[in-house]
Amino acid sequence: MTEQHKKWVRGFVDYAGLIAFLATLAVTRSAVTASWAIVIASLLALAVGFVLEKRLAPMPLVTAVLGLVFGGLTLFFHDERFIKVKPTILYTAFGLFLATGLVRGKNPLKLLMGQTLHLPDPVMRTLTLRYALFFFAMAIANEIVWRTQPTMTWALFKFPGSAVLIFLFVLSQTPLLMKHLPDDPPKD
């Protein structure tokens, strides 16, 4: 498979469930009906990714499993609150993972990034703390939006709103990264 095909497959695996959910929600205005779309599209995306790439990518797998669990609960109970609380739980879990690692003296962000970033440990700890706080803030924002706004507004907050906020947060960390990135990355 060419690199271009891999990118298309990865994009499909990463976003099929979300796109199906948003499109169905826009047409039907029902989060319960849109939950059918996320469940079916997530399963399809994982199957396509497994068949074409011979692996299950971790982040899409976590997202799909949560989509299946919360989408399934939404369908079973006919209650859209389950699908709306999913981002809150996901963001809180990310924040807790990072914060707990810091408290235990570990550096979970460095573990997740692998060899992508070569930063001193104190800088990685600062970055990890910032990411943990950001994810907690995103969880709170999701709670506020879904509890106070119509479903379509919440869906737009979820995407593209959350993606834009994440991008802006990552961009805001650039000065810290630029200040501490080594001129030459270490050789393997």
Q: State which residues form the domain around 95.
A: 80-182
- pLDDT digits 0-9 by tens, 99-129: 999 999 988 887 777 666 778 889 999 999 9
Q: Which of 38-47, 142-151, 159-168 has the lowest mean pLDDT?
A: 38-47
**Tokens, residue 132:** 């943990």
Hey, CA dihedral for 33, 38, 44, 47, is it positive or negative? negative
Q: How far apart are CA 51 and CA 152, in angstroms?
A: 34
187: confidence class by pLDDT, cuts 50, 70, 90: low
Q: How far apart are CA 94 and CA 108, in angstroms?
A: 10
pLDDT value at residue 60: 63
Q: Tell me: do 16 and 47 sit in the same domain.
A: yes
Q: Is 187 within the bounds of a domain?
A: no
Q: Tell me: do 65 and 101 sit in the same domain.
A: no
Q: How far apart are CA 45 and CA 17, in angstroms?
A: 7
58: confidence class by pLDDT, cuts 50, 70, 90: low
Q: Is 188 within the bounds of a domain?
A: no
**Domain finish residue from 44, 59, 78:** 78
Question: Nearest to residue 70, comparing CAs of 90, 92, 56, 50?
Answer: 90
Q: Tell me: do 120 and 137 sit in the same domain.
A: yes
Q: Tell me: do 61 and 85 sit in the same domain.
A: no
Q: How far apart are CA 151 and CA 80, in angstroms?
A: 9
Q: Tell me: do 150 and 130 sit in the same domain.
A: yes
Q: Share the mean pLDDT of the chain.
A: 86
How many domains is the chain built from?
2
SS3 100: helix
Q: How far apart are CA 99 and CA 91, in angstroms?
A: 12
| CA end-to-end distance (rounded Å), the chain | 27
Q: Tell me: do 49 and 122 sit in the same domain.
A: no
Q: Tell me: do 51 and 126 sit in the same domain.
A: no
Q: Tell me: do 63 and 118 sit in the same domain.
A: no
Q: Tell me: do 73 and 107 sit in the same domain.
A: no
Q: What number is the average pLDDT over the span 19-41?
A: 85
CA dist 173 → 24, 39, 45, 101, 119 (Å): 35, 34, 32, 20, 13
Tell me: pLDDT of 95 over 60.
yes
Q: Tell me: do 11 and 92 sit in the same domain.
A: no
